[in-house]
Structure 1
Amino acid sequence: MKVVRFHAPGDVRIEDAPEPVPGPGEVLIRVRDCSTCGTDVKISRFGHHHIVPPRVMGHEVAGEVAGLGDGVGGWAPGDRVQVIAAIPCGQCGECRRGRMSVCPKQESMGYHYDGGFAEYMVVPAKVLAVGGLNRIPDGLGFAEASVAEPLACVINGQNLARVGDGDDVVVMGSGPIGCLHVRLAKARGARRVFLVDINAERLEMAAALVRPDATVHGGDTDAVEAVLKLTEERGADVVITAAASGGAQEQAIAMAARRGRISFFGGLPKDAPIIACDSNLVHYRELTIVGANGSSPANNAEALALIAGGAVPVSDLITHRLPLSAAVEAFDLVARGEAIKVTIEP
């Protein structure tokens, strides 16, 4: 079979590999779609401390069951499935408290285990143990199901930021995550949703799809002033930084309304993680700043249901569908901001 393997930063190869065999408690799936994300781009260029190469990449996976290891029940060949990316241990103190997204023993597909940029992939027993293999509802395509993984992360972030009825929400970043944030916020009853980006072309492309109430091009406009104007000088109830930008995080604090909630959804580069925070704004406005790190198996199941039920449409966000042989080109598309969502179909 063909796989996309990371060997070293800047060295990602499409190679032949033997078809894997599921061990006890494992499931073999025929991968039908594995979508790309910005993390794949970062791994291809810089590697990751959890990856010991060579490693098959890809963590937004949907496919169908092709084989079962010893001891696996409840599944049969041909079952259509979606796989979680982040695998909590299910047993530590955080997991027992229901905080699986911050499990300190968390592992991940495409990092600790070979991922979905391949014709076949083994789903580890640890995934099944935490309920991380989801049935795809009838009528939902594999490509759309693969987007459940990033949507699960968005759900976790919006749960922590308490996005709900009547909120004015600002989403900073118009990539696929930003688009999902816009759609989920609307589905949760947000009063208005504003989309901000410094990339004018991507902002226009995203806005045409997800239709925010207004857009702000941060490249030629002061985003804080623009948001204050849009909100009658009050500021936003929720600001979500769906971009790896310290500047966006600093602006988020400045544009938040009194008792506003700020989600630092996009992580910062490891060599530049420090921002300037006006602590008095946080203090006097009674602001809440929350992080957002991945998702739980329950978030994944909810995401799949929201997509299948039409509450959060994703099909139109998939702007490119490419074969496995074009995976490296797909990473370049994502890096250049020329696509919203790119899915690989092995």
Structure 2
Amino acid sequence: MRVARFYAPGDLRLEDVPEPSPLPDEVKIRVRNCSTCGTDVKIFNHGHQHLSPPRVMGHEVAGEIAAVGASVSGWAEGDRVQVIAAVPCGDCRDCRRGRMTICPNQTSVGYQYDGGFAEYLIVPHAVLKVDGLNRIPDGVSFAEASVAEPLACVLNGQELAGVGSGDEVVVMGAGPIGALHVRLARARGAARVILADLNAARLEMSAALVRPDETVCGADGGIVEAVLKLTGGRGADVVITAAASGAAQEDALGMTARSGRISLFGGLPKTAPTITLDSNLVHYRELTLIGANGSSPAHNRRALELIASGAVPVADLITHRMPLDKVADAIGTVAAGEAIKVTIEP
């Protein structure tokens, strides 16, 4: 079978390897779609501390079961499935208390286990142990199901930030994650959603699909002032920084209403992880700053339900479909900001 295997930054090789067979406690799936994201760009360009090459990349995976290990029950050949990316251990104190997203023993598909840029993928026992293999609902395509993983992360972030009925929400970052945040915020009852970005072309492309109530382009600065003007000087109830930008996080404080919530959703580069925080704004306005880290198996299941119900459509966000031998081009397209969502179809 063909795989796309990462060896070093800039070195992603298409290779022919033997087709794998599952161990008794594993499941083998035929990959139908594995979508790409900004993390794939980071890995391709810089590697990752938790990824030991050589490794098959890709973690937004959907497909159909091709073989079931002898000791695995409840699954059959032909079942349509989506696979979690972040794999909690299920045993530690945090997992036992229902906080699987912060499991200190977390492993990941495409990092410690071979990922979905391949014709076939072995779903390890660690995934099955935490109920991380999900049935794709009827009417949901494989491509749509592959977007459940990033939507699950977005769902975790909005639950933590308490996005709900009547909120005015600002989403900073008009990439695929920002687009999903816009749609989920609306599904959760937000009264108004404002989408902001520094890149005018990407903002226009994303806004044409997800249709936020307002857009703000910060290419020339003044993004805080623009949001305050749109909100009558009050600021937004929730600001979500869906971009790996310290400047966006600093700006978020200035555009958040009293008693508002700020979701530091996008992680910062490890070379520049700090920001300047005006703690008086936090103190006197009683602001809440909230982190968000990935998703749990339960978030993935609920994300599939949101897609299946039509509450959060994702089909139109998949703007590019490419074969496996074009995976490097797909990653380049994501890096250039020329797409919302690019999916690989092995």
> Does the aligned pair in 2 maintain the 1:62–1:82 contact within 8 Å?
yes
Partner of 1:3 in structure 2?
Answer: 3
Determine helix, strand or coil for the equivalent of 1:118: coil
The alpha-carbon deviation at position 8 of structure 1 amounts to 0.4
Q: What are the Cα deviations for residues 62-101 of structure 1, in whole angstroms up to 9, with x where unaligned?
A: 0000001120011110000000000000110000110000
Determine the structure 2 residue equivalent to 1:84.
Answer: 84
- Once residues 297 and 339 of structure 1 are traced to their aligned partners in structure 2, the CA distance between those partners, rounded to angstroms, is 27
One-letter amino acid of the structure 1 residue matched with residue 123 of structure 2? V
1:139 to partner: Cα distance = 1.3
Render the CA deviation track for 1:22-71: whole Å, top value 9, x for unaligned: 11210000000000000000001100111111000000000000001120
Superposition pairs for residues 119-198 of structure 1, below 5 Å?
119-198=119-198
Q: Deviations over 1:159-195 (max 9, x none)?
A: 1100000000000000000000000000000000000
Match of 1:316 in 2: 316
1:165 and 1:189 in contact (8 A); partners too? yes
1:47 alignment partner in structure 2? 47
What stretches of structure 2 of length at least 5 have no aligned partner?
none
Which amino acid letter does the alignment assign opposite residue 86 of structure 1?
Answer: A
Alpha-carbon distance between aligned partners in 2 of 1:288 and 1:97, rounded to the nearest angstrom: 23
Matches within 5 A, 1:92-111: 92-111=92-111
Matched length = 346
Amino acid in structure 2 at the alignment position of 1:266: G
Query: What code does the residue aligned with 2:250 have?
Result: E
Q: Does 1:26 align with 2:26?
A: yes
Q: Matches of 2:72 and 2:92 in 1, distance apart?
A: 24
* Alignment check: 8 A CA contact 1:244 1:269 kept: yes
After TM superposition, the runs of 4+ consecutive aligned structure 1 residues lying more than 3 A away are: none
Which digits, 9 at most, give the CA deviation of each residue in 1:132-167, with x for residues without a partner? 000001111000000000000000000110000000
Q: Distance in 1 between matches of 2:70 and 2:254?
A: 56
Cα distance in 2 for residues equivalent to 1:230 and 1:20: 55
TM-fit CA distance, 1:220:
1.9
Whole-angstrom CA distance in 2 between matches of 1:232 and 1:17: 60
Deviation at residue 328 of structure 1 after TM alignment: 0.2
Q: Quick one: distance in 1 between partners of 2:163 and 2:19?
A: 44
Partner deviation per Cα, 1:223-249 (whole Å, 9 max, x = no partner): 100000000000000000000000000
What amino acid maps onto 2:136 in structure 1? I
**Sequence identity, in percent?**
73
Q: Any residues of structure 2 matched to 1:196-207 within 5 Å, and which?
A: 196-207=196-207
Aligned counterparts of 1:104 and 1:70: Cα–Cα separation in 2: 30
> Normalising by the residue count of structure 1, what TM-score does the alignment of the two structures yield?
0.99
Aligned AA for 1:115? Answer: G
TM superposition shift of 1:20: 1.0
Q: Secondary structure at the match of 1:182?
A: helix
User: What are structure 1's unaligned runs of at least 5 residues?
Assistant: none
- The alignment partner of 1:224 has SS state of helix
1:344 corresponds to which residue? 344
Residue 286 of structure 1: aligned partner: 286
Report the Cα distance in structure 1 between the residues aligned to 2:136 and 2:203, rounded to whole angstroms: 31
Tell me the SS of whatever aligns to 1:155: helix
1: CA distance between counterparts of 2:176 and 2:30?
A: 25
Q: Which residue of 1 aligns with 2:228?
A: 228
1:296-315 equivalences under 5 Å are 296-315=296-315
